[in-house]
Amino acid sequence: MTSAIAQTTATFSALKCKECGAEYELKASHVCEFCFGPLEVTYDYNALRRSVTRESIQAGPNSIWRYKAFLPVATDNPIDVGTGMTPLVKANRLARRLGLKNLYIKNDAVNMPTLSFKDRVVSVALTRARELGFTTVSCASTGNLANSTAAIAAHAGLDCCVFIPADLEAGKVLGTLIYGPTVMAVEGNYDQVNRLCCEVANTYGWGFVNINLRPYYSEGSKTLGYEVAEQLGWQLPDHIVAPLASGSLFTKIYKGFQEFVQVGLVDEKKVRFSGAQAEGCSPIAQAYREDRDFIKPVKPSTIAKSIAIGNPADGVYALDIARKTNGNIESVNDAEIIEGIKLLAETEGIFTETAGGTTVAVLKKLVEAGKIDPEETTVVYITGNGLKTQEAVQGYIGEPLTIEAKLDSFERAIERARTLDRLDWQPVLV
């Protein structure tokens, strides 16, 4: 009964092909039958403009579900594990280091429950999966998505089988297995995993969050746009920098900003969109550099596994947004990614994974090339947590000074550190 009432008030109205505009009913499907274009959820923005205010959003839960009117679910009881509303941190020390004045970090390294932005998309996808009657959920993952799908499926009591490339970081594998799903470690890269999953999705009646549920799943990333707008005091930033894997997250931050303008929650502003890729998997950055409007798939080889998608589904749309907003798409190599992880940790106390290292390193590169104005309000999206990719920085960080539990042993150690020039601060004595 409640769901019937909710259905009548839901503001999402159809699935629409991004290429030819054909409309479909709101079922589990992701490609257009006519032109094979991707399907996207549409909304009744006039209804949203009338019903949603800043106050009504602020009166909602402290999670992504405060924006439920903009998300493709009908239920009044979405799966809410506290996902979203992560800190937007004014990054003064990183800004000073880079020569910027108004830099913010959107810190999804502490997103709930599995410490990456993927919890946003999965919370939405599994809520929708339940509405559509699925009892088994699945995904093709570069790591973080498997963590999120397994955790949130466990919370919701859904059966779960996830597919990952066999060579993922230990933290990502353990961080999936702990929730008790079936895990298929596929001998191949992500693009091969994804192809296999498309076949499985055609054979089994499962809800694959990023395949047949993709139109619903991807909408969850819009909350990264809404939250930044709300946290900046209902304003849009001047410039955002975000990582690109499939390109979905990037395009949905854009959609989120546009929707807030369209329904009158924020004033219109030209926001510049810049994207970050790892050089070892940079098909979108290459197309950008070579001024192409199509993507040439690549075979990934980088430590940034979470964003290693060689054939990005939303690559052309991300490319288009970067170009039309006067942004950029840049790539950095693995050494720069490690430096990016360390730079963010040492200046802001935020330990990110390789995707975040990529984004920080690209930020630095763009600043050095004069492509970010020091005065611009710039928001950098940090999408994952460094504790999951520890092997990436192993060997590139300091070691503890092992001492006896005696004051003189401590004093000798600190003297040794000083003479070896390993202390860049002055110990204060009473």
Ligand X SMILES: *Cc1c(COP(=O)(O)O)cnc(C)c1O
Residues that bind ligand X (CB under 6 A): 116, 118, 142, 144, 243-249, 306-307, 353, 355, 383-384
List residues forming the annotated binding site for pyridoxal 5'-phosphate.
Answer: 144, 383
Alpha helices in 178-221 (DSSP H): 190-203, 214-219
Q: Token pair of 113, please?
A: 């429950």
333 Cβ neighbours under 8 A, 6+ residues apart: 278, 279, 280
The 27-46 contact track toward Zn ion, x by CB under 5 A, reads -----x-xx-x---------
Query: How near is the Cβ of 224 to ligand X at its closest, in Å?
Result: 10
Angle, helices 118-131/144-156, rounded to nearest 10 degrees = 40
Is residue 396 a contact partner of residue 338, using CB atoms and an 8 Å limit? yes
Instruction: Please say which residue, 31 or 403, places its beta carbon nearer to Zn ion.
Output: 31
Handedness of CA 415, 418, 422, 425 (dihedral sign): positive
The torsion region of residue 188 among left (phi > 0), alpha (psi -120 to 50) and beta comes to left
The option from ligand X, Zn ion, none interacting with 79 (CB < 5 to 8 A, set by class) reads none
Query: How near is the Cβ of 393 to ligand X at its closest, in Å?
Result: 15
Subset of residues 382 to 401 that bind Zn ion, contact rule: CB under 5 A: none
The option from ligand X, Zn ion, none interacting with 20 (CB < 5 to 8 A, set by class) reads Zn ion
Query: How near is the Cβ of 33 to Zn ion at its closest, in Å?
Result: 8
The option from ligand X, Zn ion, none interacting with 186 (CB < 5 to 8 A, set by class) reads none
Query: How near is the Cβ of 275 to ligand X at its closest, in Å?
Result: 9
Length of the chain equals: 430
Question: How many whole angstroms separate alpha carbon 232 and alpha carbon 89?
Answer: 10
Instruction: Please say which residue, 175 or 384, places its beta carbon nearer to ligand X.
Output: 384
The option from Zn ion, ligand X, none interacting with 307 (CB < 5 to 8 A, set by class) reads ligand X
Query: How near is the Cβ of 376 to ligand X at its closest, in Å?
Result: 22
Query: How near is the Cβ of 177 to ligand X at its closest, in Å?
Result: 18
Instruction: Please say which residue, 60 or 87, places its beta carbon nearer to ligand X.
Output: 87
Query: How near is the Cβ of 117 to ligand X at its closest, in Å?
Result: 6
The option from Zn ion, ligand X, none interacting with 308 (CB < 5 to 8 A, set by class) reads none
Angle, helices 334-348/354-368, rounded to nearest 10 degrees = 90
Instruction: Please say which residue, 20 or 369, places its beta carbon nearer to Zn ion.
Output: 20
- 170 is an interface residue for Zn ion by CB under 5 A: no
Instruction: Please say which residue, 225 or 384, places its beta carbon nearer to ligand X.
Output: 384
Stretch that binds Zn ion, among 12-20, 99-107, 115-123, 186-194 (CB under 5 A): 12-20
Q: Token pair of 320, please?
A: 């288009």
List residues forming the annotated binding site.
Answer: 144, 383
Is residue 389 a contact partner of residue 357, using CB atoms and an 8 Å limit? no
Residue 82, amino acid: G
DSSP label of 165: E
- 23 is an interface residue for Zn ion by CB under 5 A: no
* Residues in binding contact with Zn ion, number by CB under 5 A: 8
Q: How far is CA 214 from CA 233, 278, 430, in A?
A: 31, 24, 61
Query: How near is the Cβ of 246 to ligand X at its closest, in Å?
Result: 3
The position carrying tokens 């999705």 is 201
In this structure, which long-range contacts are made by residues 89-97, counting pairs with CB atoms below 8 Å and at least 24 apart in sequence?
Answer: 89/348, 89/350, 91/347, 91/348, 91/380, 93/347, 93/348, 94/343, 94/344, 94/347, 94/348, 94/360, 97/343, 97/347
The option from Zn ion, ligand X, none interacting with 60 (CB < 5 to 8 A, set by class) reads none
The option from ligand X, Zn ion, none interacting with 11 (CB < 5 to 8 A, set by class) reads none
The position carrying tokens 């219109």 is 268
Element (H, E) at 163: strand 159-165
**Which residue's beta carbon is nearest to the bound ligand X?**
384
The option from ligand X, Zn ion, none interacting with 19 (CB < 5 to 8 A, set by class) reads Zn ion
CA dihedral angle for residue 353, residue 237, residue 318, residue 44, rounded to 10 degrees: 120
Instruction: Please say which residue, 265 or 307, places its beta carbon nearer to ligand X.
Output: 307
Is residue 315 a contact partner of residue 292, using CB atoms and an 8 Å limit? no
Please tell me the number of Cα atoms within 13 Å of 9 on its side-chain side: 12
The option from Zn ion, ligand X, none interacting with 181 (CB < 5 to 8 A, set by class) reads none
Query: How near is the Cβ of 31 to Zn ion at its closest, in Å?
Result: 8
Instruction: Please say which residue, 131 or 314, places its beta carbon nearer to ligand X.
Output: 314
Instruction: Please say which residue, 74 or 305, places its beta carbon nearer to ligand X.
Output: 305
Instruction: Please say which residue, 16 or 214, places its beta carbon nearer to ligand X.
Output: 214
Residue ranges in contact with Zn ion by CB under 5 A: 17, 19-20, 22, 32, 34-35, 37
